[in-house]
Chains A and B, each alone.
Chain A
Amino acid sequence: MKVALWKIAHARSGDKADRADIGLFAFDAETYAVLKREVTRERLAAHFAGFNTGPVELWPLDNILALKIVLNGALQGGAARSLRMDNLGKNVAAQLLRMEIEAPADLPRLLVK
């Protein structure tokens, strides 16, 4: 079924020059395996189309159940020349948590009430 990332993961983002970078974290190993499979560079590029102008980079970190995502060209040249309200890209992680992926209905976080 379709599941939005905010229901099964947490994330923080920051900036370096024109790059927005995001750490995406599964709460458990089962969900991490799903994130690794579903959150691909192609999906990320589509999710941030129009926002990010450069290539997307992605690294899985099995030791901390995390994906490291870098959007190379998401900040209008950098925080000090950006015209945006969110010039520091602090909310790029929130944007990511709105992405929907295909996931089993019985992931641990989905069963917690």
Chain B
Amino acid sequence: MKTIRVGAGLGFYGDSWRPVRASIERGGVQYIASDHLSELTLAILQKDRQKDPAAGYARDAVPMLTELWPLAAKHGVKFVLNAGGLNPQGAREAIARAFRDKGWKARIATVSGDSVLERLDELRAAGEPLAHMDTGAGISGVRDRMLFANAYLGAQPIAEALARGADIVLTGRVADAALTLGPLAYEFGWKWDDWDRMAAGLTLGHLLECSGQGSGGNFGSAGEWAKVPDYAHLGYPIAEVSEDGSALFTKPPGTGGRVSFDTIRQQLLYEVHDPHAYVSPDVVLDMGTIRFDDEGNDRVRISGASGAARPTKLKIVAGYQDGWMGTGLIGFAWPEAYAKCAKSAQIIQTLVEERGWAVEDTNVEYIGYDSLLGANADPTYRDQLNECFLRMTIRTKDRRVADGFGRMFPWLGLSGPPYVGSMKGIQPAKELLGIWPTLISREIVEKNVRIEIENI
């Protein structure tokens, strides 16, 4: 019986591809599905593209493929990556250059057409409201500040690129799980309205899209995290899939990490809203019928995903400029480390008010005390801390204020409370972005989707 093995590639732009080697060498995979894009990544890529029109893709795809391609070619492994970002053709050119330098051959496909930034006004004129999905707010208030706007495409163009013989498929913004669903639908010839198989493929893609989080990384728990073996060599997860969509979920032999009922159910619900209606471009998944049967030894059987018809609208994620953040950081040692941080925050607040700076929000956190747990931090030892760092941030529309805010802090070293630490430079203003999720009729986007194939 035919099975297809898909292995996880990266889980974000900047993730490590070192573990992918084990999946290719020892994991028996035919595909690597590599997710380089988060909601925020397109904002980073947009800044890159503003500086250089040839940029705008996830640059880590180039060294990753340069390192892994000889091994992948030897084992017949194909790559599906959303590393194209805002410029899949640019990514292809960069990879083609690197491959030609080495005399390697590959058939590379690009999937593009997800960007709608340049069409926003046309779309509004055509009657697409583009209102904020969650708040219902109209887009006109942020339209002029939009930096990117991309639809989440589904798995169909990926499957088509594979059907046309691509070894490497480079996409822009597609649903993360489509990177896995595409190869599965192509290999098994799944029908695009076979909702349960679509749901099964989506489930597996979702479990693979965060690399090590599907195999024991970031296992959120008290104590249990420490029992995960050999983090240093944590293997990325692999799904061995059958035609009916059921799968064995595992990881390469001889690697660290853990695939178990506990670790993969954490990933199943990760960044999911309604688990009975997990909406993707290809299907709406109900997670309530999924079965995980843990066989031990890093093997979990997955079955039972059920799907409903895909939505008539596609989700767009857009980002707009939303002011600037100023950051100050200063630390103090015992005694009264926390009290000295709190006093410093008061001093800075006084000076900001005296200067009359237009500050919209101020955020005061104490690193080593409450910067990660907020009001749920335990105050028992607050006044006996060995050391504590004040992190103070402001939101302002004025970039100069955000820059000036960070420059206020070093002065405290000689003129503030005693036993200061961490004069490690001044943090410049950081641009803040608002995310604008909205919906759009799918045919408007899909008629612009292009698949290009190039042999290099």
List the interface of chain A (C-beta within 8 A of B).
Answer: 6-7, 10-19, 21, 23, 25, 27, 47, 49-51, 57, 59, 61-66, 68, 70, 72, 76-81, 83-86, 90-91, 93-95, 97-98
Contact = CB atoms under 8 A, between A and B. Distances in A.
Nearest to A79: B40
A77 B222 contact: no
Listed residue (A7, A49, A81) with the most chain B CB atoms within 10 angstroms of its CB: A81
Majority-rule SS of A interface residues: mixed
B367 interface: yes
Contact of A16 (B43, B271, B287): B271
A10 B371 CA distance: 21
A17 B262 contact: no
Contact of A59 (B274, B323, B371, B393): B274
B150 to A, nearest CB: 14
Interface string B109-124: 0000000000000000
Listed residue (A11, A25, A98) with the most chain B CB atoms within 10 angstroms of its CB: A25
B134 A84 contact: no
Nearest to B363: A83
B295 interface: no
Contacts of B374: 50-51, 95
B153 interface: no
Interface in B364-381: 365, 367, 371-376, 378
A61 B275 contact: yes
Interface of B: 39-40, 43, 134, 213, 218-222, 224, 261-262, 265-276, 287-292, 304, 319, 322-323, 325, 361-363, 365, 367, 371-376, 378, 391, 393-395, 432-435, 437
Listed residue (A10, A70, A91) with the most chain B CB atoms within 10 angstroms of its CB: A10
Question: Across chains A and B, which 10 residue pairs bring their CB atoms closest together, nearest first?
Answer: A23-B269, A83-B363, A10-B221, A80-B433, A14-B271, A12-B220, A83-B393, A85-B371, A6-B222, A95-B376
Contacts of B289: 63
A11 B221 CA distance: 6
A94 B220 contact: yes
Given A12-B219, A94-B220, A94-B373, 6 more contacts: A14-B270, A16-B273, A51-B374, A59-B276, A80-B434, A98-B373
A91 B373 contact: yes
Contacts of A81: 322-323, 395, 432-435
A72 B274 CA distance: 12
B270 A97 contact: no
Contacts of A98: 373, 376, 378
Contacts of B265: 23, 25, 64-66
Given A12-B266, A61-B287, A83 B319 contact: no
A72 B273 CA distance: 10
A77 B273 contact: no
A70 B278 CA distance: 13
A18 B137 CA distance: 14
